[in-house]
A = this chain, B = another copy of it.
Amino acid sequence: MDPFRKFVLKPTKLSANQIKLKNWDPHYIGNKSKIDTVTEIEHFSKKISDLQYKLFAANNKSLLIILQGVDASGKDGIIRQVMGALNPQNCYVKSFKVPNENELAHDYLWRIHMEIPKKGQISFFNRSHYEDVIEPGVNNLISRDDLIRRYRQINDFERYLTENDITILKFFLHISKDEQKERLQERIQDPTKHWKINESDIINHRNWDKYMEVYEKVLSLCSNKWAPWYIIPANVKYFRNWAILYIILKKLEIMKPEFPELKIDPSEYIID
């Protein structure tokens, strides 16, 4: 039995039945001890690294990992954790910030498409095109019709990508409001974490309910069979890391990259 189904949501075709995040426990830690979980993480990392090497060699598919979540939900932490295991040569991280002048002069998917991984590559998006529905949704920046249209455009875009050999994993890092509060307070109190906080984080924390409402829409409307959302219980960091590494590993196993065959006839070549 797949242990995975017990704790992480892989919502598909949910447009009709709206996801309610209050039904998902952000504190879930599975049924293993912390020490066993951490041991498994190392084990997963090694396997992921091997598969990454084959993916690079095969050079015909790529993997895009999208991380979304409120401030302090652990997006950077995950990237540090997973990247540690990978070969940086064909692994790439892109953090999408507030769009710059040139990006704003283009359609909103322009800067996203430009960063889509090449064949053989694994890319992490720290935030993504989902910010183009989340921020407008939370702050009522565009009309409801325009928002709905963007959801459809994003679904079409992701379908196109998966049809063109780009596998997409989308992780929503699900923490509780209390957990966010605690992490933000820590950032204020610890001088080594001051750089991580700014005023907007405090304002966003006050808008917690609005963010949850918009994320529920995103999870409900943009979870498709070609690119489902995974809701990751993320209050407890070791479990969050475990869950994400587990899913990445399983996905790479399904992608099944193989070393390509030798293209020359070795009997014809003598290397001396």
Residues in chain A within 8 A of chain B (CB atoms): 59, 102, 105-110, 113-114, 116, 118-120, 149, 153, 156-157, 159-161, 163-166
Contact = CB atoms under 8 A, between A and B. Distances in A.
B116 A107 contact: yes
Contact of A160 (B102, B116, B157, B161): B157
Given A114-B114, A153-B160, 9 more contacts: A102-B118, A105-B120, A106-B116, A106-B118, A106-B119, A107-B161, A107-B166, A109-B113, A156-B156
Query: Copies per complex?
Result: 2
A108 to B, nearest CB: 7
A164 B110 CA distance: 11
A268 to B, nearest CB: 26
A232 to B, nearest CB: 27
Contacts of A109: 113, 160
A81 B153 CA distance: 36
14 contacts: A102-B118, A105-B119, A105-B120, A106-B119, A107-B160, A107-B164, A107-B165, A107-B166, A109-B160, A110-B113, A149-B163, A156-B156, A156-B157, A156-B159
